[in-house]
A = this chain, B = another copy of it.
Amino acid sequence: MKTLKYSRQREAIMNYLAQTKEHPTADTIYMNIRETYPNISLGTVYRNLNLLVEQGEIIKFSCGDGCDRFDGNADPHYHFVCKRCSKVYDLDMKIDSLNHINLIANAGFDGEVLGHSTIFYGYCPDCKTLS
């Protein structure tokens, strides 16, 4: 984890991620940053996102749609994906409320279960009444 030299492109990415709850893809981030820095390249966006993930400043996760999503909230938390509108929500359940499932998984398994990665799905508040 090396120290990073300042760059306004990286700062713009962090600022953008800090003020959105959309869990955007790299491409969405690129589109948005381009409104302020029209010359930024997609490669730079990817490079900085990966650096920020390495530093633990942001989180990268996949919600099953093939492309990675980024979250400016680096505190561990669970995500919810709407089956209808595909929007991703943060769940504010306590992060250790699912710790016990590692034990359940480890029962009858001869290895050592240390953690899990879970995504919840269903209908979001907006879509719940429609479907």
* Residues of A in contact with B (beta carbons under 8 Å apart): 62, 64, 78, 80, 82-83, 89, 91-93, 97-98, 101-102, 104-125, 127-128
Identical subunits present? 2
Q: How far is the CA of A29 from the CA of B82 in the complex (A)?
A: 32
A111 touches B101 (CB 8 A): no
| CB closest chain-B residue, reference A107 | B93
Question: A97-B104, A102-B122, A106-B122 provided; 12 other pairs, C-beta below 8 A?
Answer: A78-B105, A80-B109, A91-B108, A105-B120, A112-B122, A113-B120, A114-B121, A114-B123, A117-B118, A117-B119, A118-B118, A118-B119
Q: Given the known A-B contacts A93-B104, A104-B93, A107-B93, are A123 and B116 also in contact in the complex, defined by CB atoms under 8 Å?
A: no
